Structure 1
Amino acid sequence: MKSEKKQVVGGALLSYILIVLNAVYGLLITPYILSRLGTVEYGMYKTVASLSSSLMILDLGLGGTVTRYIAKYKSDNREKDIPNLIAILFLEATIVLLLVTIVCTGVYSQLGNIYKATFTSDQLAHAKKLFLVLSINMLLCIIENVVNGIVTGYNDFLFGNGIKLVRLGCRILLVFIVLQFYPNSMGLVLINLTLTSVFLMIEIYWAFVKHKTRVRFEHWDASLFSESFKYTLLIFSTSIVNQVNGNLDNIVIGAVVSAAAVAVYSMGLTIFGMFQQLSTAISGVLLPSIIGILEEKDGLKKVQKTIVNTGRVQFCLLGAAFVGFAVLGKNFIYLWLGDGFQDVYYITLILMIPSIFELCVNACLAVLKAKNLLGFQTVALLSTTVLNAFITYFGTRKFGYFAACFGTAVSWTIGSLILMNLYYYKKFGFPMLKIYQSIIGKTWVALLVPAIVLSIVNRYCPVTWIAFAFECLLFVIIYLVILLKAGLTESELAQVRGRVLKRKEKL
């Protein structure tokens, strides 16, 4: 087993590679899928897939619960109690699987009533078949989340992210091959089901053979069950927020507007999803480490430093992505998708603006999970999610998909940005304004200059892929030069020099 530091750094590096591969999938494979299926069938597929994905909240966040308690037991030197812990959590998973099966059966029986206004009879019949396969895949994903939670709890981020990388590569290859000979959305869902089944078996082998994890029920721990189930419910409530923000829009648009409108909105969500992933490469591997830091003396002060350090990296990436898209996004959308998708640019920007600052400090969420203090977040985000659902449902009827993305943006601004930052200050004493000031630093200068230059250059460049590539390269060069000259702190520059020298020595 490699050291924890190597696992965290290696896991983060694999996360960034995964982001690049996801970008390849989103930018190259998504238009290919759209061209093979057509706008209407693709929109129908995304509608049903969003409905199925929204039911994934019923897994109650079991994977996160397993990760948190295994990491905590290791930190408390209670490794001998882990087999009993996993046995109790698998009992919870069995209950959840039965619950999901019942709910999926009920939703399947009501699909005709949900989409009778926007789907034809043939489309409804096809949608039911898609939903059936997606439901089976969802049940397997719940088991996979628990197994993956075991691997992550042991700080094995290299395998956890590595298997995701291989899986996505296989998906890209299979989508390209299958849709060549079978251009149907059923092919897509069967690919997902096949990959889930195969990689679930690999993860089970790794968790229980390589890590020698044991599931052994030794005694009933009522306090553990109560505490873990409470934590699971809080994770579940947070999942509701994520699923509503990620899938409710497509479900409502598909039921109220049309399947074609879902196709347009989904493209905005695809780009926004890539934007979000830039922030999770580091924060996604922090939970076990933060649990250990909080056990130390002055743990909160040390965690605050971690929040700033990770936030700096995340803002450098997110800020560049946001400014680059704001300046060059219109040309990119036209080149990528063609006519009829101009609204994707505005949908994406509306979603990006309120989320960029929240994503920069998402390491704070690891603190909440580590200290089992998710109650306020649950109440705050559920409240704003109700507001989002209200705006989306009633606004979409008059303003279409713009009402949906506006509702999501308002929800994030009030819940994640305002209320949660106030909570971090009141509960932990985190000076959030000072933290944001430290995170942004002088990076804004490195973002402003290339934005101005590119705005001028963009007026005189033709709308072609070659011109677009040139503008992107110009943006990156100007941004990196100014970032190194004026955007980074002295300590960050020293770290960069140290890494460069170390790399030279190895070469």
Structure 2
Amino acid sequence: MNQLKFGIYLSYASLFVTNIINLILTPFIMRNLGQSAFGLYMLIGAFVGYIAVLDFGLSNTTVRFVAMYRAKNDKRGEENFLFSTFIIYSIISTIILIVGSIIFINLENIFRNSLTIKEIELAKVMFLILFINLALTMPMNLFKGIISGYERFVFPRVLTIARILLRAIVIFILLSLGYKAIAIVIVDAIFNVIIMLISILYVFLKLDVRLRLHSLNMSIFKEIFSYSSLIFISVVVDQLYWRIGHLVLGIIASTSEVAIFAIGMVLGQYFITFSTAISGVFLPKITRMVFKDASGEELTDLLIKTGRIQFLILGLVLGGFILFGEKFILLWAGPGYEISWLIALIVMIPLLVVLTQTIGISILQAKNMHGFRAVAYLCISIINVLISIYLAKLYGSIGAAVGTTLSLILGNIIAMNIYYHVKVRLNIPRFYLEMSKGLLISFIGSIAIGAILLFIPGDSWITLIIQCFIYFIIYILTMWFFGMNNYEKRMFLNEFNKIKGKF
């Protein structure tokens, strides 16, 4: 329980550190690289992200199966499973090298209509470093899955925080000395290798886990792929959702357009991480509940409880961004990125609904019922690609963002809620009824009251901080008196008293 509790705390600590560091480091990188080079850096990162999906969902598969073997106290089965998975990862690394080499050879043909010769040469170097590093570190996902399956949430999150801080320091020094995008790529590659080695040592020495082949049972491979293949489709879909705009704009527009779109989507990704910090640590617990035949209403209770907490946090972020996001981007990214606020907002508003249900994904994985989600998302993603290409040609980065949002609404909200209710037996009407009790009206009310703060004159960071702080107070008071239920108030007071007691 302490691992779960502190895992959530450290998840938010990691989010806080990550977001603060990125808020400081990203504009520093943009100004040092320039809009064009920054867009190129984001474009190649998106390209490599598509190769990264060759993980085939094995990381999540490892978490689920390790938790299952531990629940059965089957050490022999666990070791056999892990050895089999390691073999699969070794094959995947080889495939990545082959696929990456083919793409590397054809990069010039892919981007010849949108990138200059100099940009293409720089893109080749960055891509080469990234895909080779990806092939070397891909097996790390196995060890990350083992650590999560053993419900050790503290160590990986401490490691993540350390990596974030050290990476920021090194990049800041290198860019200050005049190094450019290549230096950032090399730093990330080195840190990936270091993190992989530390994770491997932790699994073998601390957790005393072994990878042993006790018997060559082909049914294990079949079971692994029957589960992971569906997660793989989901991962592909996520890549299409969040990175297709980068590629479309990179091919039909310019690196500057990619940079503008990328900033808006990065802010949307920050928004997403606030919900996954909670849901990510619940998969082992949900797996145990499923194996103990928890009812649909019991799982709905968990969905509601976590969903309301997620709404409380996400509502604060979204409300503040609606009011002050445009001013923030102007101060943070500088002139030329004003449209990024609208791009982020187009995506974040429907995400508020989607992200209150992230526990539902863990429930599907635990029940091995994520097949529909994978297939439905894949179909919607294909539509997303077609819509994004069409709209991007007409409206540029705004069109690409609208394509992503339409996919979110059709796939994540409409299709999935029907499936949750009909097949998974989650009580979705009760979920929305409980979610709307107090929270929705308080959220809208806090924004209406907070709009008064827009009349405070000034376009400086000090003015923005003052506005955000006052809005934070308005939001907390509005939610406390009109939004939060007794359970949430008790939880808040308990945590506040614990923190107060330490001082």
Give yes or no for TM over 0.5: yes
Query: 1:78-477 counterparts in 2 under 5 A?
Result: 78-477=74-473
Q: What is the distance in 2 between the residues matched to 1:330 and 1:503?
A: 34
Unaligned runs of 5+ in 2: none
Correspondence 1:36 to 2:8:
no
Which amino acid is the alignment partner of residue 391 of structure 1?
I
Q: What SS does structure 1 have at the residue aligned with 2:139?
A: helix
Q: What SS does structure 1 have at the residue aligned with 2:14?
A: helix
| Cα pair 1:290 1:367 within 8 Å, conserved | yes
Cα deviation for residue 297 of structure 1 reads 4.8
Q: What SS does structure 1 have at the residue aligned with 2:208?
A: coil
Q: What is the distance in 2 between the residues matched to 1:501 and 1:463?
A: 37
| Cα pair 1:26 1:270 within 8 Å, conserved | no
Which amino acid is the alignment partner of residue 225 of structure 1?
F
Q: What SS does structure 2 have at the residue aligned with 1:463?
A: coil
| Cα pair 1:84 1:217 within 8 Å, conserved | yes
| Cα pair 2:63 2:145 within 8 Å, conserved | yes
- Are residues 121 and 500 of structure 1, via their aligned partners in 2, closer, same or farther at CA, if it must alter by over 3 Å? closer
Which amino acid is the alignment partner of residue 490 of structure 1?
N
Which amino acid is the alignment partner of residue 95 of structure 1?
I
Q: What is the distance in 2 between the residues matched to 1:249 and 1:24?
A: 25
> Which residue, out of 11, 20, 31, partners 1:24?
20
Cα deviation for residue 336 of structure 1 reads 1.1
Cα deviation for residue 405 of structure 1 reads 0.8
Matching residue of 1:9:
5
- Are residues 349 and 372 of structure 1, via their aligned partners in 2, closer, same or farther at CA, if it must alter by over 3 Å? same
| Comparing 278-287 and 121-130, the one that deviates more | 121-130
| Cα pair 2:392 2:398 within 8 Å, conserved | yes
- Are residues 20 and 240 of structure 1, via their aligned partners in 2, closer, same or farther at CA, if it must alter by over 3 Å? same
| Comparing 271-280 and 394-403, the one that deviates more | 394-403
- Are residues 498 and 457 of structure 1, via their aligned partners in 2, closer, same or farther at CA, if it must alter by over 3 Å? closer
Which amino acid is the alignment partner of residue 496 of structure 1?
F
Which amino acid is the alignment partner of residue 230 of structure 1?
S
CA deviation map 1:54-113 (0-9, x unaligned): 211111111111111000111122123211110111111112112111111110111000
- Are residues 161 and 93 of structure 1, via their aligned partners in 2, closer, same or farther at CA, if it must alter by over 3 Å? same
Cα deviation for residue 6 of structure 1 reads 1.0
> Which residue, out of 40, 52, 58, partners 1:56?
52
Matching residue of 1:497:
493
Q: How many equivalent pairs are there?
A: 503
Cα deviation for residue 355 of structure 1 reads 1.5
Q: What is the distance in 1 between the residues matched to 2:246 and 2:387?
A: 14
Cα deviation for residue 144 of structure 1 reads 1.4
Q: What is the distance in 2 between the residues matched to 1:320 and 1:195?
A: 33
TM-score of the two chains, using structure 2 as the length reference: 0.97
Cα deviation for residue 330 of structure 1 reads 1.3
| Cα pair 1:312 1:440 within 8 Å, conserved | no
CA deviation map 1:333-363 (0-9, x unaligned): 1111222111011100111122211110110
Which amino acid is the alignment partner of residue 93 of structure 2?
L
Which amino acid is the alignment partner of residue 244 of structure 2?
L
TM-score of the two chains, using structure 1 as the length reference: 0.96
CA deviation map 1:438-492 (0-9, x unaligned): 1232122332333122212212422111111111000111111222222111222
Unaligned runs of 5+ in 1: none
Q: What SS does structure 1 have at the residue aligned with 2:151?
A: coil
| Cα pair 2:296 2:427 within 8 Å, conserved | no
RMSD across aligned C-alpha pairs, in angstroms? Answer: 1.4
| Comparing 21-30 and 363-372, the one that deviates more | 21-30
Q: What SS does structure 1 have at the residue aligned with 2:423?
A: helix
Which amino acid is the alignment partner of residue 280 of structure 1?
T
- Are residues 255 and 162 of structure 1, via their aligned partners in 2, closer, same or farther at CA, if it must alter by over 3 Å? same
Q: What is the distance in 1 between the residues matched to 2:140 and 2:173?
A: 26
Q: What SS does structure 2 have at the residue aligned with 1:177?
A: helix
Q: What SS does structure 1 have at the residue aligned with 2:213?
A: coil
CA deviation map 1:295-315 (0-9, x unaligned): 225443322211111101100
CA deviation map 1:210-260 (0-9, x unaligned): 111101101022222101111111111001011111222111111111001
Which amino acid is the alignment partner of residue 262 of structure 2?
S
| Cα pair 2:250 2:258 within 8 Å, conserved | yes
| Cα pair 1:37 1:184 within 8 Å, conserved | yes
- Are residues 143 and 453 of structure 1, via their aligned partners in 2, closer, same or farther at CA, if it must alter by over 3 Å? same
| Cα pair 2:299 2:426 within 8 Å, conserved | no
| Cα pair 1:446 1:480 within 8 Å, conserved | no
| Cα pair 2:450 2:474 within 8 Å, conserved | no
CA deviation map 1:370-402 (0-9, x unaligned): 111111111100000001000112221221111
Q: What is the distance in 1 between the residues matched to 2:21 and 2:261?
A: 17
Which amino acid is the alignment partner of residue 50 of structure 1?
A
- Are residues 27 and 341 of structure 1, via their aligned partners in 2, closer, same or farther at CA, if it must alter by over 3 Å? same
